[in-house]
Amino acid sequence: MDKSYKLLTPGPLTTTDSVKQQMLFDHCTWDSDYMQITEGIRARLLELGHCDQAEYTVVLMQGSGTFGVESVLTSVVGMDDKVLLCTNGAYGDRQVQMCDHAGVNYVRYNVEYDQVPDPQRIEQILDADPSITHVSMVHSETTSGLLNDIQPVGELTAERGITFIVDAMSSFGGMEIPVQQWHIDFLVSSANKCIQGVPGFSFIIARREPLEASNGQARSLSLDLWDQWHTLEQAGGKWRYTSPTHVVLAFAQALEELAAEGGIPARAARYAQNNHRLITRMCALGFRTYLEDHQGPFITTFFYPDGVQVDFADMYEFIKERGYAIYPGKLTNEETFRVANMGEIYTPDIDQVTDLFAQYLDARGLLGKIGFDSLEDARHAMEQASA
Ligand SMILES: *Cc1c(COP(=O)(O)O)cnc(C)c1O
Protein backbone atom coordinates (compact mmCIF):
# COMPACT_ATOMS: atom_id res chain seq x y z
CA MET A 1 0.00 0.00 0.00
CA ASP A 2 1.05 3.57 -0.57
CA LYS A 3 1.41 6.03 2.25
CA SER A 4 -1.44 5.79 4.67
CA TYR A 5 -2.85 8.38 7.00
CA LYS A 6 -5.52 8.71 9.62
CA LEU A 7 -8.54 10.88 8.97
CA LEU A 8 -9.16 13.88 11.18
CA THR A 9 -12.16 14.71 9.03
CA PRO A 10 -15.84 14.52 9.99
CA GLY A 11 -16.69 11.57 7.75
CA PRO A 12 -15.54 9.25 6.51
CA LEU A 13 -13.61 8.54 9.67
CA THR A 14 -10.70 6.29 10.47
CA THR A 15 -12.13 2.83 11.13
CA THR A 16 -10.59 -0.30 12.64
CA ASP A 17 -9.02 -3.02 10.51
CA SER A 18 -11.59 -5.45 11.87
CA VAL A 19 -14.40 -3.25 10.52
CA LYS A 20 -12.71 -3.02 7.12
CA GLN A 21 -12.07 -6.79 7.04
CA GLN A 22 -15.79 -7.50 7.07
CA MET A 23 -15.94 -6.06 3.57
CA LEU A 24 -13.85 -8.88 2.10
CA PHE A 25 -16.94 -11.08 1.93
CA ASP A 26 -19.52 -10.86 -0.85
CA HIS A 27 -22.75 -11.54 0.99
CA CYS A 28 -26.02 -12.29 -0.77
CA THR A 29 -29.00 -10.15 0.13
CA TRP A 30 -32.01 -12.42 0.25
CA ASP A 31 -31.18 -15.15 2.73
CA SER A 32 -32.09 -15.22 6.39
CA ASP A 33 -28.47 -14.66 7.53
CA TYR A 34 -28.37 -11.33 5.82
CA MET A 35 -31.84 -10.28 6.86
CA GLN A 36 -30.95 -11.09 10.45
CA ILE A 37 -27.94 -8.80 10.20
CA THR A 38 -30.17 -5.99 8.95
CA GLU A 39 -32.73 -6.61 11.66
CA GLY A 40 -30.00 -6.77 14.31
CA ILE A 41 -28.70 -3.38 13.18
CA ARG A 42 -32.17 -1.87 13.32
CA ALA A 43 -32.79 -3.23 16.82
CA ARG A 44 -29.41 -2.07 18.10
CA LEU A 45 -29.90 1.46 16.76
CA LEU A 46 -33.22 1.66 18.56
CA GLU A 47 -31.47 0.71 21.80
CA LEU A 48 -28.72 3.26 21.24
CA GLY A 49 -31.42 5.92 20.84
CA HIS A 50 -33.16 4.74 24.04
CA CYS A 51 -36.39 4.19 22.16
CA ASP A 52 -39.31 2.00 23.03
CA GLN A 53 -39.97 -0.49 20.25
CA ALA A 54 -43.71 0.02 20.37
CA GLU A 55 -43.32 3.72 19.62
CA TYR A 56 -40.24 3.88 17.40
CA THR A 57 -38.69 2.03 14.49
CA VAL A 58 -35.56 2.28 12.32
CA VAL A 59 -35.27 2.75 8.56
CA LEU A 60 -32.01 2.12 6.73
CA MET A 61 -31.56 4.12 3.53
CA GLN A 62 -28.95 3.69 0.80
CA GLY A 63 -26.67 6.65 0.11
CA SER A 64 -24.72 9.04 2.30
CA GLY A 65 -26.23 11.08 5.10
CA THR A 66 -27.65 13.70 2.76
CA PHE A 67 -29.88 11.05 1.19
CA GLY A 68 -31.31 10.25 4.61
CA VAL A 69 -32.09 13.89 5.40
CA GLU A 70 -33.61 14.41 1.96
CA SER A 71 -35.66 11.25 2.35
CA VAL A 72 -37.17 12.52 5.59
CA LEU A 73 -37.86 16.08 4.42
CA THR A 74 -39.40 15.01 1.14
CA SER A 75 -41.39 12.11 2.61
CA VAL A 76 -42.81 13.30 5.91
CA VAL A 77 -43.58 16.94 5.14
CA GLY A 78 -46.80 16.61 3.16
CA MET A 79 -48.19 18.87 0.45
CA ASP A 80 -50.34 20.79 2.95
CA ASP A 81 -47.63 20.94 5.61
CA LYS A 82 -44.97 23.54 6.35
CA VAL A 83 -41.58 22.96 7.92
CA LEU A 84 -39.62 25.49 9.95
CA LEU A 85 -35.92 25.10 9.09
CA CYS A 86 -33.66 26.41 11.87
CA THR A 87 -30.28 26.97 10.28
CA ASN A 88 -26.81 28.03 11.42
CA GLY A 89 -24.45 26.32 9.02
CA ALA A 90 -23.97 24.65 5.66
CA TYR A 91 -25.92 21.52 6.60
CA GLY A 92 -28.92 23.62 7.56
CA ASP A 93 -28.49 25.51 4.28
CA ARG A 94 -28.55 22.16 2.48
CA GLN A 95 -31.98 21.43 3.97
CA VAL A 96 -33.19 24.70 2.46
CA GLN A 97 -31.83 23.54 -0.92
CA MET A 98 -33.60 20.19 -0.58
CA CYS A 99 -36.92 21.89 0.14
CA ASP A 100 -36.42 24.27 -2.78
CA HIS A 101 -35.70 21.37 -5.13
CA ALA A 102 -38.63 19.24 -4.10
CA GLY A 103 -41.09 22.07 -3.60
CA VAL A 104 -41.45 21.38 0.11
CA ASN A 105 -43.20 24.26 1.85
CA TYR A 106 -40.89 25.86 4.43
CA VAL A 107 -40.06 28.94 6.45
CA ARG A 108 -36.59 29.62 7.63
CA TYR A 109 -35.13 30.87 10.88
CA ASN A 110 -31.48 31.60 10.17
CA VAL A 111 -28.82 32.68 12.66
CA GLU A 112 -25.09 33.35 12.26
CA TYR A 113 -22.79 30.33 11.98
CA ASP A 114 -21.35 30.98 15.44
CA GLN A 115 -24.74 31.44 17.12
CA VAL A 116 -27.44 28.98 18.15
CA PRO A 117 -31.15 29.21 17.31
CA ASP A 118 -32.96 30.63 20.31
CA PRO A 119 -35.77 28.38 21.63
CA GLN A 120 -37.76 31.46 22.69
CA ARG A 121 -37.61 32.81 19.17
CA ILE A 122 -38.70 29.40 17.83
CA GLU A 123 -41.62 29.48 20.22
CA GLN A 124 -42.64 32.95 18.93
CA ILE A 125 -42.40 31.77 15.33
CA LEU A 126 -44.56 28.72 16.06
CA ASP A 127 -47.13 30.77 17.93
CA ALA A 128 -47.30 33.35 15.17
CA ASP A 129 -47.72 30.78 12.39
CA PRO A 130 -50.06 27.90 13.23
CA SER A 131 -49.61 26.48 9.73
CA ILE A 132 -46.15 25.16 10.74
CA THR A 133 -46.40 21.39 11.14
CA HIS A 134 -42.73 20.37 11.33
CA VAL A 135 -39.49 21.78 12.76
CA SER A 136 -36.10 20.67 11.48
CA MET A 137 -32.70 21.35 12.98
CA VAL A 138 -29.10 20.13 12.80
CA HIS A 139 -27.68 18.89 16.12
CA SER A 140 -23.92 19.01 15.61
CA GLU A 141 -23.29 21.61 12.87
CA THR A 142 -20.20 20.12 11.28
CA THR A 143 -19.62 23.35 9.35
CA SER A 144 -18.29 25.06 12.46
CA GLY A 145 -18.25 22.31 15.09
CA LEU A 146 -21.08 23.92 17.02
CA LEU A 147 -23.50 21.82 19.08
CA ASN A 148 -27.09 23.03 18.99
CA ASP A 149 -29.31 22.49 22.01
CA ILE A 150 -32.14 20.40 20.60
CA GLN A 151 -33.79 19.32 23.82
CA PRO A 152 -35.78 22.53 24.52
CA VAL A 153 -36.95 22.58 20.89
CA GLY A 154 -38.25 19.02 21.27
CA GLU A 155 -40.27 20.13 24.26
CA LEU A 156 -41.79 23.04 22.36
CA THR A 157 -42.75 20.94 19.38
CA ALA A 158 -44.14 18.08 21.47
CA GLU A 159 -46.39 20.48 23.39
CA ARG A 160 -47.85 21.69 20.12
CA GLY A 161 -48.10 18.35 18.33
CA ILE A 162 -45.47 19.47 15.81
CA THR A 163 -43.16 16.88 14.24
CA PHE A 164 -39.48 17.36 15.16
CA ILE A 165 -36.75 16.35 12.68
CA VAL A 166 -33.10 16.29 13.75
CA ASP A 167 -29.99 15.84 11.62
CA ALA A 168 -27.75 14.19 14.22
CA MET A 169 -25.32 13.02 11.59
CA SER A 170 -22.09 13.91 13.31
CA SER A 171 -23.30 13.42 16.91
CA PHE A 172 -25.32 10.19 17.13
CA GLY A 173 -23.14 7.47 18.64
CA GLY A 174 -20.64 10.03 19.88
CA MET A 175 -22.85 11.32 22.68
CA GLU A 176 -26.01 10.16 24.38
CA ILE A 177 -29.19 11.27 22.58
CA PRO A 178 -32.33 9.94 24.27
CA VAL A 179 -34.43 10.26 21.14
CA GLN A 180 -37.80 9.45 22.65
CA GLN A 181 -37.30 11.43 25.85
CA TRP A 182 -36.21 14.48 23.85
CA HIS A 183 -39.34 14.18 21.66
CA ILE A 184 -37.43 13.72 18.42
CA ASP A 185 -39.75 12.23 15.81
CA PHE A 186 -37.15 11.63 13.09
CA LEU A 187 -33.43 11.45 13.83
CA VAL A 188 -31.06 11.00 10.89
CA SER A 189 -27.46 9.80 11.01
CA SER A 190 -25.21 7.72 8.79
CA ALA A 191 -22.95 4.69 8.77
CA ASN A 192 -19.69 6.57 8.45
CA LYS A 193 -19.90 8.96 11.39
CA CYS A 194 -19.66 8.25 15.13
CA ILE A 195 -20.68 4.59 14.92
CA GLN A 196 -17.40 4.25 12.98
CA GLY A 197 -18.59 2.29 9.97
CA VAL A 198 -17.82 3.08 6.34
CA PRO A 199 -19.88 5.27 3.95
CA GLY A 200 -22.84 3.80 2.10
CA PHE A 201 -26.10 4.22 3.98
CA SER A 202 -27.93 6.47 6.37
CA PHE A 203 -30.35 5.49 9.09
CA ILE A 204 -33.45 7.11 10.44
CA ILE A 205 -34.81 6.52 13.93
CA ALA A 206 -38.47 7.31 13.43
CA ARG A 207 -41.53 7.58 15.62
CA ARG A 208 -44.02 5.14 14.17
CA GLU A 209 -47.06 7.37 14.17
CA PRO A 210 -45.80 10.19 11.91
CA LEU A 211 -43.92 7.66 9.79
CA GLU A 212 -47.07 5.64 9.16
CA ALA A 213 -48.97 8.84 8.43
CA SER A 214 -46.50 9.68 5.64
CA ASN A 215 -47.64 6.78 3.47
CA GLY A 216 -48.05 7.98 -0.12
CA GLN A 217 -46.60 11.47 0.38
CA ALA A 218 -43.05 11.02 -0.87
CA ARG A 219 -41.91 13.22 -3.73
CA SER A 220 -39.23 10.74 -4.78
CA LEU A 221 -39.44 7.04 -5.55
CA SER A 222 -36.06 5.85 -4.31
CA LEU A 223 -36.06 8.13 -1.25
CA ASP A 224 -39.58 7.19 -0.16
CA LEU A 225 -39.10 6.72 3.57
CA TRP A 226 -42.40 4.99 4.21
CA ASP A 227 -41.96 2.54 1.35
CA GLN A 228 -38.39 1.75 2.42
CA TRP A 229 -39.62 1.04 5.94
CA HIS A 230 -42.61 -0.95 4.74
CA THR A 231 -40.37 -3.21 2.63
CA LEU A 232 -37.93 -3.78 5.50
CA GLU A 233 -40.83 -4.68 7.78
CA GLN A 234 -42.69 -6.89 5.34
CA ALA A 235 -39.70 -8.86 4.22
CA GLY A 236 -38.16 -9.05 7.71
CA GLY A 237 -34.99 -7.16 6.90
CA LYS A 238 -34.74 -7.25 3.12
CA TRP A 239 -33.93 -3.85 1.65
CA ARG A 240 -35.91 -2.25 -1.15
CA TYR A 241 -33.44 -2.17 -4.08
CA THR A 242 -29.84 -3.40 -3.76
CA SER A 243 -28.43 -2.91 -0.32
CA PRO A 244 -24.78 -1.92 0.25
CA THR A 245 -23.89 -5.39 1.57
CA HIS A 246 -20.23 -4.76 2.36
CA VAL A 247 -21.08 -1.55 4.18
CA VAL A 248 -23.81 -3.30 6.14
CA LEU A 249 -21.45 -6.07 7.29
CA ALA A 250 -18.87 -3.48 8.31
CA PHE A 251 -21.52 -1.52 10.20
CA ALA A 252 -22.67 -4.59 12.15
CA GLN A 253 -19.06 -5.08 13.24
CA ALA A 254 -18.75 -1.38 14.12
CA LEU A 255 -21.79 -1.73 16.41
CA GLU A 256 -20.14 -4.70 18.15
CA GLU A 257 -17.01 -2.64 18.65
CA LEU A 258 -18.98 0.28 20.02
CA ALA A 259 -20.47 -2.08 22.61
CA ALA A 260 -17.03 -3.51 23.40
CA GLU A 261 -15.69 -0.01 23.97
CA GLY A 262 -18.34 0.48 26.64
CA GLY A 263 -21.16 1.84 24.52
CA ILE A 264 -21.94 5.46 23.81
CA PRO A 265 -20.88 6.75 27.27
CA ALA A 266 -17.34 5.41 26.80
CA ARG A 267 -17.08 6.64 23.23
CA ALA A 268 -18.45 10.04 24.20
CA ALA A 269 -15.83 10.30 26.94
CA ARG A 270 -13.02 9.44 24.52
CA TYR A 271 -14.21 11.96 21.92
CA ALA A 272 -14.65 14.68 24.54
CA GLN A 273 -11.17 14.01 25.89
CA ASN A 274 -9.70 14.09 22.37
CA ASN A 275 -11.47 17.35 21.68
CA HIS A 276 -10.42 19.00 24.91
CA ARG A 277 -6.80 17.97 24.47
CA LEU A 278 -6.76 19.10 20.85
CA ILE A 279 -8.10 22.56 21.68
CA THR A 280 -5.82 22.96 24.70
CA ARG A 281 -2.69 22.10 22.75
CA MET A 282 -3.62 24.07 19.63
CA CYS A 283 -4.38 27.16 21.69
CA ALA A 284 -1.06 26.77 23.51
CA LEU A 285 0.53 26.94 20.04
CA GLY A 286 -1.25 30.20 19.25
CA PHE A 287 -4.23 28.91 17.24
CA ARG A 288 -7.65 30.18 18.23
CA THR A 289 -11.04 28.47 18.04
CA TYR A 290 -13.63 30.07 15.80
CA LEU A 291 -16.41 29.41 18.30
CA GLU A 292 -16.48 31.23 21.59
CA ASP A 293 -19.51 29.32 22.84
CA HIS A 294 -21.32 26.09 22.04
CA GLN A 295 -18.20 24.26 20.86
CA GLY A 296 -19.16 20.61 20.32
CA PRO A 297 -16.91 17.63 21.08
CA PHE A 298 -16.51 16.35 17.49
CA ILE A 299 -14.84 18.88 15.23
CA THR A 300 -13.16 22.23 15.83
CA THR A 301 -12.72 25.21 13.52
CA PHE A 302 -9.44 27.05 14.10
CA PHE A 303 -8.06 30.44 13.17
CA TYR A 304 -4.34 30.65 12.41
CA PRO A 305 -2.15 32.30 15.05
CA ASP A 306 -2.29 36.08 14.95
CA GLY A 307 0.16 37.69 12.59
CA VAL A 308 1.12 34.60 10.57
CA GLN A 309 0.16 33.83 6.99
CA VAL A 310 -0.40 30.15 6.31
CA ASP A 311 -1.19 28.46 3.02
CA PHE A 312 -3.69 25.72 3.94
CA ALA A 313 -2.75 23.48 1.00
CA ASP A 314 0.92 23.60 2.00
CA MET A 315 0.13 22.86 5.66
CA TYR A 316 -2.28 20.09 4.65
CA GLU A 317 0.39 18.34 2.53
CA PHE A 318 3.00 18.63 5.26
CA ILE A 319 0.70 17.04 7.83
CA LYS A 320 -0.72 14.42 5.46
CA GLU A 321 2.75 13.19 4.50
CA ARG A 322 3.33 12.64 8.19
CA GLY A 323 0.19 10.62 8.82
CA TYR A 324 -2.93 12.77 9.28
CA ALA A 325 -5.53 14.29 6.94
CA ILE A 326 -7.07 17.50 8.28
CA TYR A 327 -9.98 19.43 6.78
CA PRO A 328 -10.39 22.82 5.12
CA GLY A 329 -12.63 25.43 6.68
CA LYS A 330 -16.19 25.81 5.46
CA LEU A 331 -16.76 29.42 6.43
CA THR A 332 -17.04 31.69 3.46
CA ASN A 333 -15.66 34.83 5.00
CA GLU A 334 -12.92 33.67 7.37
CA GLU A 335 -9.48 32.06 7.02
CA THR A 336 -9.99 28.86 8.98
CA PHE A 337 -9.41 25.12 8.90
CA ARG A 338 -10.95 22.23 10.80
CA VAL A 339 -9.70 19.26 12.76
CA ALA A 340 -12.12 16.47 13.68
CA ASN A 341 -11.44 14.10 16.54
CA MET A 342 -13.99 11.38 15.78
CA GLY A 343 -13.24 7.81 14.70
CA GLU A 344 -10.40 5.54 15.80
CA ILE A 345 -8.49 8.46 17.26
CA TYR A 346 -6.86 8.43 20.68
CA THR A 347 -4.70 10.68 22.87
CA PRO A 348 -1.42 9.74 21.11
CA ASP A 349 -2.97 10.82 17.78
CA ILE A 350 -3.94 14.18 19.23
CA ASP A 351 -0.45 14.63 20.64
CA GLN A 352 1.07 13.59 17.35
CA VAL A 353 -1.00 15.85 15.12
CA THR A 354 -0.60 18.89 17.36
CA ASP A 355 3.15 18.25 17.33
CA LEU A 356 2.96 18.22 13.52
CA PHE A 357 1.36 21.68 13.55
CA ALA A 358 4.31 22.86 15.63
CA GLN A 359 6.76 21.16 13.28
CA TYR A 360 5.07 22.79 10.32
CA LEU A 361 5.25 26.29 11.81
CA ASP A 362 8.90 25.62 12.62
CA ALA A 363 9.66 24.34 9.10
CA ARG A 364 8.17 27.49 7.58
CA GLY A 365 10.00 29.78 9.97
CA LEU A 366 6.82 30.99 11.64
CA LEU A 367 7.35 29.98 15.26
CA GLY A 368 9.30 33.13 16.06
CA LYS A 369 6.39 35.30 14.95
CA ILE A 370 4.17 33.57 17.46
CA GLY A 371 6.71 34.15 20.22
CA PHE A 372 8.47 30.81 20.49
CA ASP A 373 12.27 30.59 20.56
CA SER A 374 12.38 27.08 19.19
CA LEU A 375 10.38 23.94 18.43
CA GLU A 376 11.31 22.69 21.90
CA ASP A 377 9.84 25.84 23.37
CA ALA A 378 6.57 25.32 21.49
CA ARG A 379 6.43 21.67 22.52
CA HIS A 380 7.00 22.64 26.10
CA ALA A 381 4.09 25.10 25.96
CA MET A 382 1.77 22.40 24.60
CA GLU A 383 2.86 19.89 27.22
CA GLN A 384 2.39 22.35 30.05
CA ALA A 385 -1.09 23.26 28.82
CA SER A 386 -2.28 19.66 28.50
CA ALA A 387 -0.54 18.26 31.58
C1 LIG B 1 -21.84 14.45 7.30
C2 LIG B 1 -23.04 15.27 7.53
C3 LIG B 1 -24.17 15.17 6.69
C4 LIG B 1 -24.22 14.26 5.50
O5 LIG B 1 -23.27 14.55 4.57
P6 LIG B 1 -22.91 13.47 3.46
O7 LIG B 1 -21.83 14.14 2.68
O8 LIG B 1 -24.12 13.20 2.68
O9 LIG B 1 -22.45 12.27 4.21
C10 LIG B 1 -25.29 15.89 7.01
N11 LIG B 1 -25.33 16.69 8.08
C12 LIG B 1 -24.28 16.82 8.90
C13 LIG B 1 -24.39 17.72 10.09
C14 LIG B 1 -23.10 16.13 8.66
O15 LIG B 1 -22.05 16.25 9.48
Give tens-digit pLDDT for 191-200: 999 999 999 9
Atom of ligand 1 nearest to the CA of 170: 15
Kindly state if the Cβ of 201 falls inside 6 Å of ligand 1. Answer: no
Q: Which of 139, 170, 204 to mutate to test the pocket of ligand 1 (most atoms within 8 A of CB)?
A: 170
Residue 272: the pLDDT is 98
Atom of ligand 1 nearest to the CA of 140: 13
Share of the chain above pLDDT 70, in %: 99
Kindly state if the Cβ of 167 falls inside 6 Å of ligand 1. Answer: yes
The whole-model pTM stands at: 0.97
Kindly state if the Cβ of 188 falls inside 6 Å of ligand 1. Answer: no
Residue 170 to residue 299: CA distance in whole angstroms:
9
pLDDT, tens only, 219-272: 999 999 999 999 999 999 999 999 999 999 999 999 999 999 999 999 999 999
Share of the chain above pLDDT 90, in %: 96
CA 171 to centroid of ligand 1, rounded, Å: 11
1: pLDDT strictly greater than 60: no
CA 303 to centroid of ligand 1, rounded, Å: 23
CA 361 to centroid of ligand 1, rounded, Å: 31
Residue 325: the pLDDT is 97
Residue 330: the pLDDT is 81
pLDDT, tens only, 109-156: 999 999 999 999 999 999 999 999 999 999 999 999 999 999 999 999
- Could you give the angle at the alpha carbon of 329 between the alpha carbons of 1 and 143, nearest 5°? 105
Kindly state if the Cβ of 170 falls inside 6 Å of ligand 1. Answer: yes
Residue 334: the pLDDT is 77
Please count the other Cβ atoms lying within 10 Å of the Cβ belonging to residue 83: 22
Q: What is the mean pLDDT of the chain?
A: 97
Sorting pLDDT into bands at 50, 70 and 90, what band is 360?
very high
CA 202 to centroid of ligand 1, rounded, Å: 10
Residue 5: the pLDDT is 96
176: pLDDT strictly greater than 80: yes
CA 359 to centroid of ligand 1, rounded, Å: 32
pLDDT, tens only, 63-112: 999 999 999 999 999 999 999 999 999 999 999 999 999 999 999 999 99
Q: Which of 13, 62, 66 to mutate to test the pocket of ligand 1 (most atoms within 8 A of CB)?
A: 66
CA 112 to centroid of ligand 1, rounded, Å: 19
Residue 170: the pLDDT is 98
Residue 114: the pLDDT is 96
